[in-house]
Structure 1
Amino acid sequence: MARALIQLGGTKLGASLRYVQAAQRLGLRPITFSDEPTRYDHFGAKGAETIRVDTDDLDALIRECSRLQETYGIAGITGAVDPVYATVGKLCRHFDLPGPNPDAVEQCCDKYTQRQLLAASGVPMPAYRLATNAAEVEDSAAEIALPVIVKPAVGSSSVGVRLCRNVDEVVEHTTYLLGGKHIWRSSPRILIEEFAQGPHYIAHTMGNEVVGIEVADFGPPPHFVLREGIFPAPLADDEYKRIADVSLSCLQALGLGWGPACIEFRWTKRGPVVIEVNPRLGGSQIFELAYGFDLITEHIKLVIGDKCDLRRRHSHVAAWRCLLPDRDGTLDWIDGVARAAAVPGVAEVKLCVGPKTPIIRNGDELDALGWVMAASPSLAQTKAILQSAVNLIGWSITPFPSTDEVTLT
């Protein structure tokens, strides 16, 4: 009987596809559950199967897995994004398969509950408050002192996260969040946080081990759209140890001792403070480029009950850069991709859009037109390769017609 890997689909199609490809390399039959299976049509061409299931309906997922058991042996169940990961844990428990602790994942995905658990364990964090209405948001911002971060207490991919530098911006963003434009997955609750300033680091973990630490940077404020990253981060030994020690404290405080997690920090005057703990895999390709192993493959090994192997095959420096648009409008053209991909040391050039695509920046990770990844034996060389490739890529965006122009037309 063929062995299947069940994956709950999500917004990160690229990550989901890499799980499909890794499963196939391990001799597994990849099957994706999604409430929008047409989004995964290209998976079918790669020998994968997609089944329509409401990924928010646990009973429906159990029924579908039970039906598949008549044809396949289910080797494991996983998912690539936060919103489905607690459900993954519940399915794994139901079918007695290795997987994350669903209670720990749910607590972690509620950023306020996460903050409370970390604070109780003495983990260094920015000041924070919880609010359920506009008046409470304004009061909390005043207590913490501007500038502040205002964001949904439950969410992912930086959706709805904004830096508010004055009272007007606090009011504006609160109105947006509570005014019906933001889609809430639970009852509206807003987290207000101190704006911790300093370099941004991401600790990637597997089980109770820190696999590596990445340094990353964002696009222009007030949003937090990741623009570029370097792995491994150029840290002194004592700096690495401080971030690693706090990372392990986070895992213990949140009960995340199984599988992958990524923990975001800012290095402030107080040292590393925790911005957010994500109970799932972060970037994966950088590990293969920098250290020679595929973290998704190693995660799947855990999912199916095997041991993962995180030994480094080599030690290079990998870097990536997102191609971020500077305006909304219609993408007229984008070129230079083939030339960029041909630069020695470039590992990947990926576009998410094509000509005539409407570009609407929402201030989250889906804003990117694509990305470039590069690697080499040294930091300076990798930076130079990446910049050379990015310089070869250009595009043109025609702004949308203004309301006045449309009216005159």
Structure 2
Amino acid sequence: MVERALIMLEGTTNSNSLLFVRAAKYLGLHPIALATDPGSYDYIAAERVQAVRVDTEDFNALVRECYRLREMYEVAGITSALERVYATVGKLCRHFDLPGPNPTSIERCCDKFSQRRLLAEAGIPIPAFRLAANPAEVESAASDLGLPVILKPAVGSGSSGVRLCRTTDEITQHSTFLLSGEHIWQSSPRILVEEFAQGPYYTAEVMGNEVVAIGTGDFGPPPHFVCRGFTYPAPLTDGEHNHIADVSLECLRALNLGWGPTNVELRLTSRGPIVIEVNPRLAGMPFPQLVHLAYGVDLITEHIKHVIGKEWDLRRRHSRTAVARHLVADRDGTLDWIVGHSEAAAVLGVAEVKVYVKPKTPIIRKGDFDDCIGHVIAASPSLTEAENALQHAIDLITWSITPFSPLGEHGPAWP
């Protein structure tokens, strides 16, 4: 009997790829990773995943490799946990007549300027915005919008390169940083300048055209947007919940999405829900774990079912509260040690403790998701119990970071 395979394009570090592999195996699939550098992903070694080295920027090379694999396996589906290659996943699925996302919709959505224009044309509430290609255009856009403003790369994820600028000096400093070559761009350098929408942050997890869960989160101190903690479900009135859900579904229609998962980020302002970003993919860790703990819905497993053409099941099995906190590096330097995570994992109500960084690893904070060195997740029937368990676990974890020598080889910290 020919073995059924799930092809996974590239992967993510400290995120969902390991969960994708385990879900694939649970469904009786043989996961195969296609990656430019398979050795850069811990999940491949941890799960002994079959890996193929191939240039994932070369579509024709990927097609050839998939044809080769089809000679040995029944390729049941193709997917990825990485936004950067998700449009390529859609193109491969179309080439091989497999279920998959619309690649054109994914590409337009991943370009934040194109996304903004489509949402604005549909009348969906979003921050005021401008596109700029040089520091002078950035300053002009900020002047039009009024301070403070958010500067962000037009293409990117994980809050990389995103900064709140309250003064013209900060605007000049950050736009110069983004355009000087220090920032790694995923596309041609273009900066989105947008109004700072102020209000509580919410995130909607959508599968197909169904809002499965709405959570809330908070960030570290400005000017950066490093996520610190999350709560599912978000404490909302029925009216607020329905309003956020309705706006989220309107985004899908405006962007021609609706196949598979979508993550919608919003702020609840005095004007109502304002859409910050629409991500045409599953949200990264720990969102799937939180939804699973809160509702009993395994978004990753159900997503893979969809990928291989099976019917998914998004019914809620229970109702609990799940909370998470990221462990965030407090300084630049070398991580000497981190202890207490085993004790934290044993706390009643704690569901997961994960450390991303090994001792002796250099840490250079950039004000994005890579500043996180681990996370703790707890769940309980009540919010108070879940938060108490989470805080107890957090208090047990300590670490030491030795700052770099002033004459060392490492560059500056946050721009």
Preserved contact between residue 34 and residue 51 of structure 1 (Cα < 8 Å): yes
Question: What residue in structure 1 maps to residue 291 of structure 2?
Answer: 287
Partner of 1:28: 29
> How many residue pairs are counted as aligned between the two chains?
406
Match of 1:388 among 373, 392, 397: 392
User: Are the aligned partners of 2:12 and 2:41 in contact in 1 as well (CA < 8 Å)?
Assistant: no
Counterparts of 1:6-405 in structure 2, within 5 Å, are: 6-40=7-41, 42-282=43-283, 283-403=287-407
Maintained 8 Å contact 1:10/1:84: no
| Unmatched runs of 5 consecutive residues or more in structure 2 | 411-415
Displacement after TM superposition at 1:221 (Å) = 1.2
- 1:336–1:367 distance in 2 versus 1, CA, 3 Å: same
Identity of aligned residues (%): 62
Residue type at the aligned position of 1:111 = K
Structure 1 stretch 47-56 or stretch 314-323: which is displaced more? 47-56
Show CA shifts across 1:129-188 (max 9, x none): 001111000000111011100011111111111111100000000001110111122211
Q: 2:108 corresponds to which letter in structure 1?
A: Q
How far is 1:293 from its partner?
Answer: 2.4
What displacement does 1:42 show? 4.9
Corresponding residue for residue 413 of structure 2:
none
In the alignment, is the contact (CA less than 8 A) between 1:263 and 1:277 conserved in 2? yes
Structure 2: distance between partners of 1:169 and 1:106: 31
Q: Is the 8 A contact 1:12 1:80 kept in 2?
A: no
Amino acid at match of 1:243: I
Q: Read off the aligned partner of 1:333 and give its amino acid letter.
A: W
Asked if 2 retains the 8 angstrom alpha-carbon contact of 1:40 and 1:50, the reply is no
Quote the Cα distance in structure 1 between the aligned partners of 2:351 and 2:3.
Answer: 33
In structure 2, what residue type is equivalent to 1:37? P
**TM-score normalised to structure 1 length:** 0.97
Query: Which ranges in structure 1 are unaligned for 5 or more consecutive residues?
Result: none
Measured against aligned partners, the alpha-carbon deviations of 1:1-21 in whole angstroms (never above 9, x if no partner) come to 000000111333531111111
- Kindly state the Cα deviation for residue 93 of structure 1 after the two structures are TM-superposed: 0.2
Change (3 A) 1:59 1:303: same
Deviation of residue 286 (structure 1)? 1.0
Q: Which runs of 4+ in 1 moved over 4 A?
A: none
Secondary structure of the residue that 1:361 maps to in structure 2?
Answer: coil
Cα distance in 2, alignment partners of residues 40 and 397 from structure 1: 24
Is the 1:316–1:376 Cα contact (8 Å) retained in structure 2?
Answer: yes
Which amino acid in structure 2 is aligned with residue 74 of structure 1?
V
Which secondary structure does the structure 2 equivalent of 1:104 belong to? helix
Query: Structure 1 CA distance, aligned partners of 2:186 and 2:361?
Result: 28
Say if 1:286 and 1:122 are closer, same or farther in 2 by CA, change over 3 A.
same
Verify the 8 A CA contact 1:215 1:232 in the aligned structure 2: yes
TM-score, length basis structure 2? 0.96
Q: Is the 8 A contact 1:44 1:50 kept in 2?
A: no
C-alpha deviations, 1:320-361, integer Å up to 9, x for none? Answer: 100001110111221111110000010000001122211110
Cα distance per residue 1:4-50 (max 9 Å; x no partner): 00011133353111111100000000001111111236524524211
Contact map agreement 2:11 2:41 (CA 8 A) in 1: no
Kindly indicate whether the alpha-carbon contact (under 8 Å) linking 2:13 and 2:42 is maintained by their aligned counterparts in 1: no
Q: CA RMSD in A?
A: 1.4
